[in-house]
Amino acid sequence: MEGISELSKTVDLCAKDEIENGSVRKFVVDGHEIAVVRIEDDFYAIGDRCSHANYSLSEGEVWAEEKELECWKHGSTFSLVTGKPTCLPATKAVPVYDMVVKGGRVLVVID
């Protein structure tokens, strides 16, 4: 796969239809806790642990228009594109994972 280093691997998570439009689901892959979000036919994956106080972002709300995921605990929202928080109290970015959608399946790229 172009642009993906040889040290990374692609892991099959689920069928596309197992994640509803506008929702988020948590997966754990090789110790990586990952929040996978679907917005229409686009899929995004960011680290599931809030960088502020270690709460699960996949329990928060998807802001589809903004392409952000809100931490339910204190309300920071994180960009699904960059992983950066867009408001306080969180100040540090969470990891962002590349996604691949192929043959109706959703896969995540783990470095």
Q: Which residues of the chain form contacts with ligand FES (CB under 6 A)?
A: 50, 52-53, 55, 71, 73-74, 76, 89-90
Beta carbon nearer to ligand FES, 67 or 73: 73
User: Which one, 4 or 53, has the nearer CB to ligand FES?
Assistant: 53
Q: Minimum distance between the CB of residue 93 and ligand FES, rounded to whole angstroms?
A: 13
Q: Is the backbone peptide bond immediately before 95 cis, with ω within 30 degrees of 0?
A: no
Q: Smallest Cα–Cα separation from 58: which of 88, 83, 95, 33?
A: 33
Query: What's the gap between Cα 79 and its chain centre?
Result: 9
Residue 82's CB: how many other CB atoms inside 10 A? Answer: 13
- Smallest gap from Cβ 58 to ligand FES, in A, equals 12
